[in-house]
Each structure stands twice: as C-alpha cells, then as structure tokens.
Amino acid sequence: MQARITLEDVAALARGCAVLGTGGGGDVRPGAIAARRAIREHGEVPLVSLDELPGDALVLPLSGIGAPTVSHEMIHGEDEPVRIAEEVERIFGRPPAAVMSSEIGGGNGVAPVAWAARLGLPLLDADAMGRAFPEVQMVSMYVAGIPADLVVMADVAGNVVTIRPVDGLWSERIARAVCVAAGSSALMADYVLTARECAGAVIEGTVSRAIAVGRATEGAADPLAALTAELGAVRLLTGKLADLDRRTTGGFARGTATVEGTGDDRGRTLTLEIQNENLVALEDGRVRAMVPDLITVVDTQTATAVQTEALRYGQRVTVLAWPCDPLWRTPKGLETAGPRAFGYDLDYLPVEKIA
C-alpha cells in the first residue's frame, strides 16, 4: 500500500472509483477537482490501514448525499467537514483520527481525499461498500450489526444536524429529509466508529484498490485486458449499446440497457437492469450477474467506466462483472443489498458460478 495520496494519484483514484461505481455513485470529476485543490492547499493525504490506528481512534466515515444535478451546481463549501469534525469531538470528547469514504464507488470515493486534506487527517484505506449503493443503510457497518445510532450532517449554509436514529432505516429516512431541507445536498458522517469497531465492519484496502484499478489502464497496450485482469472480472459481453429505456421513478434513475454483441460475441444480447447502479445482467432470460456483485460498463477501446447517465446508443462497450466483498454474500448482506432489496425476485448466485 502506498503511504500518501499525491496530486498525481487523484486521476487514477477517480478512474478507479468510476469503475467501482458500477454505473452510479455520481460523477467523479467534481470530487477529483476538489481533491486536487485541497492537496495543493493543505498537502498530500496520508493513507493509513486499520492496524496503524490505535483501537480507540475515531474514524469518521464521510459522504456527500443528495441529487447529482444539485451537487454539480451547488458545490460543497470548504468547511462542512470541519463542522462535522467539531460536532463529533463535542460528542465523543476527542477529535476524529481519520476520515473514511462511506462509498468508494463514484464521486464519494474521491471527495474524501479533499475532506481529509481540509481536516489535516489521514484517510483510512477502507470504505463501507466496496462499490456504490443508493441507500444510506446499505453499508458494511449495518451488515456487521453495529447500531446506526448517530448521524451528523452539515449543509452549505452552515447548519449542523445530529440525528440519533433507532436503526439504519430511520437513519436513511431522517437523513434524506434533512438533505432535502438543506437544498438536496449535504455532507454526512454516518456511524462514527472506533478503529476497534471497524475491524470486520468496514471493507479494507478499497482506496488502494481503486488507485490500482485506475493505474491498470494507464499506458496499457490493451486497456480492457489490463482492467479485466486487475479486477479479476468476467467479460460478460463486448458489443454496442442497441437500446436504452430510461425512466425516473421514486427518485431513482431506473432503466434497461441492451447491449448487442459484436465481433466474437455477434448474435448474443445482454440486458442490464439499472437503478442508478447496474444491478442485474441477463442473457436470453438467464441471469449472468446480479447485485451485490459488481457490474460495470466500460468503453471497449479505453476501458473507461461509462456511468448510467452517460450511456448512449451506439457506444462500443464491454460489460464486466466481478465478485463483491464476502460481507455482502452473508445472509444479512444479501438481505440488505441483494437482488430482493432492489425488488428483483431472484435468488442470489455468485457471479463466478453463473457468468
């Protein structure tokens, strides 16, 4: 593992986070811009592993929540992480020792570099998803049974809101309402943990993994092969995007994308079911990969991840799928973020068995 995140690492981290975003998680560019700016201003960010932190050190999992269109226009202020850290210090009687990304996939994987730099804290090489998920309770801490009893939120206007929810579902419900009142964008610390509690309750190594994934395609003669190898992914299909059906319901961007095989895959068709993230991949009615395993659409030439909103007819793409963290394959993990949690009447089968 590398010891620091430098200015030069940000681009690779952003590319990797986009791949781990499985189509969702928000645009990585604003986070990358903020991260570069913060590193220039406050210096490089130490990247620490869990065993480097004392057991009682406080880990601050941070994420931005809200509508992507809003966060693209109403960019975060500089001081939201400071206000959250101050509130956490008031509550615990000691300051946080490290920042953690709540969601490595998408923009929330990159922006924590900026927040850590602003706070002068190291970034923990871990996150709470190992990918992107749409809902607040879909985090490893919830699966590990850590009570969701504290959420601290800060908005652009300077308000700080502390929530003491009775469980993860309430946490999601109240945090969402606060976010709306704050103009549909806020910064949030969910589950403030000690390093001791983190063990087994966070997904370790995901920041360095994202950087490695981003680096894999740099200068590669065959970026797609390099990415596939780095991820340990199955190539489900290479083809072109032939159909796209988008609809926004219940606040989520849902849709179905159809990829028609080209070259060696000619004659085959893959269908992706999307709810912000790519959740299920079907071929001839047979499931070839499903959530919580990761399914990402990449540009066949450059192996750059294509986000759900950027999908367009005619794009030459390859669909990759690879296994999620084992935590998501436990009964509680599947109950939280398995196919049924997204309304698909499917029994989960691991991608390596069905792809």
Residue numbers at the binding site for another protein (CB under 8 A): 30, 33-34, 36-38, 66-70, 72-79, 114, 118, 156-158, 180, 183-184, 240, 242-243, 246-248, 251-253, 276, 310, 312-314, 316
CB of 48 to another protein, least distance (A): 23
Which C-beta is closer to another protein: that of 316 or that of 329? Answer: 316
Q: In the beta sheet, which residues pair with residue 253? A: 248
Tokens at residue 311, please?
A: 């999908």
Tokens at residue 160, please?
A: 């700080």
Tokens at residue 162, please?
A: 């502390």
User: Residue type for 71, please?
Assistant: S
Which C-beta is closer to another protein: that of 37 or that of 340? Answer: 37
How far apart, in whole angstroms, are the C-alpha atoms of residue 273 and residue 280? 5
Which C-beta is closer to another protein: that of 176 or that of 329? Answer: 176
Which C-beta is closer to another protein: that of 36 or that of 215? Answer: 36
Which C-beta is closer to another protein: that of 157 or that of 221? Answer: 157
Neighbours of 313 (CB within 10 A): 11
CB of 9 to another protein, least distance (A): 16
Give me the DSSP letters along 114-125. HHHHHHT-PEES
Which C-beta is closer to another protein: that of 219 or that of 250? Answer: 250
CB of 186 to another protein, least distance (A): 11
CB of 80 to another protein, least distance (A): 8
CB of 300 to another protein, least distance (A): 12
Main-chain phi, psi angles of 287, to 5 degrees = -75, 130
Q: In the beta sheet, which residues pair with residue 5? A: 45
HSE-up of residue 97 (Cα within 13 Å, Cβ side): 19
CB of 59 to another protein, least distance (A): 22
**Which residues lie below 8 Å from residue 284, measured CB to CB, with a gap of 6+?**
269
Tokens at residue 31, please?
A: 């986070």
